[in-house]
Chains A and B, each alone.
Chain A
């Protein structure tokens, strides 16, 4: 059946297949009790980082612009959705509440992606990278400093701590963040969301719009001269990318009950970590992003036995892989040796 399909749709179905197979294997391990509770706790984070990596790959690999502020969009998705869930806790049933929270987080991240995209996408190369980093840090800093709550007098928002009058609730408590988000997300929902994001992104890449976006990446001036609306397609890719990152943030915030805008979760180093997943998985290779995220996220956890050395080993492995993958000399060496192996098989 697969042979009948075109090369691109075959590639797409293989990607879905890998995700579903991974999900089924994990379920099998869960049923047979082979999965430790520690590993089980990693499943949802693994999926939302995959989601973030896939969405960043849309900006970096397909659009060809380096963004270092992706964690900022995750932060917006996480906070807006958590705010809704905390506010409506007890008013709405769990499933519906999470669905609406997901919509809110995704749409708000998309809006911010659009608004930030307007100034940012006018810049080029490394300047664009540093400005996205700046936006990400600004979002994180503001959300870490803001106080937001409601009482009998109405809604209050301030950068200074304040007292509520009468009946009311503090929703965002400055650096303490949002407390008591219902833990609505689980591995099944996360995987469904990842599949949905894959359908959207792979469909986009295969479409006329996707080809327009890639033509901008390959040669902006040539694309412009054949009548492609550069701004429109750049904004399209950037907004979709932000929206998916926002939905990753929603999963993040509904996985634990406490949400704080600290550098550990939403700083530029998180954006960089996701970028590492994207580059190691292959720039522009959607399936690669998921595989790289799974391996690289699990690697430090699997090396836990080595304790203090694990991050050191991780960094050395990272440098070694980059050199092996990208150095022109290493590529030459690989070509020579791999072709000789192939030659031997041919005989």
Chain B
């Protein structure tokens, strides 16, 4: 029973990381209507930045995370400007998808060139040991608790930002109807840049938490969590922020539990299987809006 609780909490923790990444995916999708395949690699870049500042230079972990967030935010804005913005009105949606894949290749190979293919040992940004409950039978690691708390804070702040501030309202408007938003005097370019900035900043936090929980980093660290988070975003209904959170948590819990109780190799297959089942029952995800096609 205690084992099960430990796995469950670990699952929620991993799910929280997926949720933070998925928030970035879902926001960008909601506003720019593009699948940003490079998002996972921004996490990896964030992880490496923290590795440089915290693990190598011995800087304060919180300060390194702030620097990494700034770095990833810039990276997000610059890639949007150079690679995605020129293709915003392209005749096919596939164009920007392929460009995002190109950016993903670029970031991976750039990291490969700078840091090499060997995994680097990552010093956890959380030095707290964690707590023991029920007479040492239930141990919860510090990273696990911090991850869950951080993701809850991010969700709350993001909800407040979107619903209460003018920029947040502008984001909602752009995601609803770009043309109408422009007519209302909203600067669409600026809003999209802001979305990429927030998504990439969140990716840096996700990178810090991911590499602290699984303390190595390679140029391909971000790829699979990126895809899983994408799955989480779709599962929850892409474009919906609470959906991304629910999707992420569900995915994390299912992954950890199936790894422990069914099979390590089949865990990914089970995660993807759940996505398929949910989409077949609810084709737009758990909290997705069902849009009727008009003729």
Contacts and interface: CB of A to CB of B under 8 A. Distances in A.
A175 interface: yes
B283 A314 contact: no
Contact of A312 (B87, B94, B113, B285): B113
A174 B272 CA distance: 20
A329 B90 CA distance: 9
Main secondary structure on chain A at its contact with chain B? Answer: helix
Contacts of B272: 133-135, 137-138, 141
Interface string A269-298: 100100110011001000000000000000
B280 interface: yes
B86 interface: yes
A325 B99 CA distance: 11
A318 B269 contact: no
Interface stretch (A31-39, A40-48, A122-130, A163-171): A122-130
* Most interface-central of B37, B87, B110, B284 (chain A CB within 10 A): B87
B112 interface: yes
A133 B97 CA distance: 14
Given A66-B94, A315-B106, A323 B283 contact: no
A329 B265 contact: no
A144 B266 CA distance: 9
Given A119-B280, A131-B275, A275-B98, A326 B91 contact: yes
Interface in B223-242: 223, 227, 230-231, 234, 238
Interface in A110-153: 119, 122-124, 126-127, 129-131, 133-135, 137-138, 141-142, 144-145
Contact of B106 (A272, A312, A326): A312
A330 B102 CA distance: 18
Interface of B: 29, 35, 37, 83, 86-87, 89-92, 94-95, 97-99, 101-103, 105-106, 109-110, 112-113, 223, 227, 230-231, 234, 238, 263, 265-266, 268-269, 272-273, 275-276, 279-280, 283-285, 293, 295
The 7 A-B residue pairs with the shortest CB-CB distance, nearest first, are: A326-B95, A315-B105, A134-B272, A145-B265, A327-B86, A141-B269, A315-B106
A172 to B, nearest CB: 13
A326 to B, nearest CB: 4
Given A127-B283, A319-B99, A312 B89 contact: no
A62 to B, nearest CB: 14
B226 to A, nearest CB: 11
Given A123-B279, A127-B284, A311-B112, A272 B101 contact: yes
A323 to B, nearest CB: 6
A329 B86 contact: yes
Contacts of A131: 275-276, 279
B105 A127 contact: no
B261 to A, nearest CB: 13
27 contacts: A60-B94, A66-B97, A119-B280, A127-B238, A131-B275, A137-B272, A138-B276, A141-B269, A142-B266, A269-B223, A272-B37, A275-B98, A279-B94, A279-B95, A280-B98, A283-B92, A312-B109, A315-B106, A315-B109, A322-B98, A322-B99, A325-B95, A326-B92, A327-B86, A327-B87, A328-B86, A329-B86
B133 to A, nearest CB: 34
Interface of A: 60, 66, 119, 122-124, 126-127, 129-131, 133-135, 137-138, 141-142, 144-145, 159, 174-175, 221, 268-269, 272, 275-276, 279-280, 283, 308-309, 311-312, 314-316, 318-319, 322-323, 325-330
Given A126-B238, A141-B265, A275-B98, A135 B276 contact: yes
A119 B276 contact: yes
A65 to B, nearest CB: 11
* Most interface-central of A142, A275, A327, A329 (chain B CB within 10 A): A327
A314 B265 CA distance: 32
B266 A145 contact: yes
B86 A323 contact: yes
Given A137-B272, A268-B227, A130 B234 contact: yes
B293 A326 contact: no
Nearest to B85: A327
Contacts of A314: 105, 109
Contact of A330 (B29, B86, B293): B86
Contact of B279 (A127, A269, A272, A312): A127
A126 to B, nearest CB: 6
A276 B94 CA distance: 9
Contact of A130 (B92, B113, B230, B266): B230
Contacts of B29: 126
A276 B101 contact: yes
